[in-house]
């Protein structure tokens, strides 16, 4: 079932969904993006120090995984921004109705 547009959700639903997205982003950053960045950094350092020869394809694959993970984090962040903007507008209407 498709989720209703943010503007059609109740304020409570918006807060709940924003919270879920926040948890999803934190989990993704901690368990996916940061470890991938760390792995790529270790590969680069090994190559620079001459400890190992890292094939170009290995470096490209690791960089590709980092970029894909960063793209996903950006998408979640964009969704969060949509929710936060909508929440801000709804609260503003409540506080100072016209």
Domain assignments of the chain as residue spans, ordered by start:
16-95
Mean pLDDT of 50-79: 96
In this prediction, residue 77 has a pLDDT band, given cuts at 50, 70 and 90, of: very high
pLDDT tens string 35-46: 999 999 999 999
Rg (Cα) of the chain, in Å, rounded? 20
For residue 84, how many C-alpha atoms fall within 13 Å in the half-sphere facing its CB? 10
Mean pLDDT of 23-36: 98
Mean model confidence pLDDT for the chain? 94
**Is the separation of the CB atoms in 6 and 82 below 8 Å?**
yes
Report DSSP letters for 42-97, one per residue.
HHHHHHHHTS-PPPHHHHHHHHHHHHHHHHHHHHHHHHHHHHHHHHHHHHHHHHS-
pLDDT for the residue numbered 1: 45
In this prediction, residue 2 has a pLDDT band, given cuts at 50, 70 and 90, of: low
């Amino acid at each position: 079932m498709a989720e209703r547009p943010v503007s059609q959700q109740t304020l409570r639903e918006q807060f709940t969904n924003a919270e879920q997205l926040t948890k999803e982003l934190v989990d993704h950053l901690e368990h996916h993006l940061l470890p991938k960045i760390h792995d790529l950094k270790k590969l680069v350092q090994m190559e620079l120090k001459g400890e190992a020869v890292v094939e170009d394809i290995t470096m490209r694959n690791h960089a590709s995984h980092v970029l894909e993970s960063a793209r996903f984090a950006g998408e979640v962040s964009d969704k969060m921004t949509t929710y936060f903007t909508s929440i801000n507008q709804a609260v503003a209407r409540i506080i100072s109705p016209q």
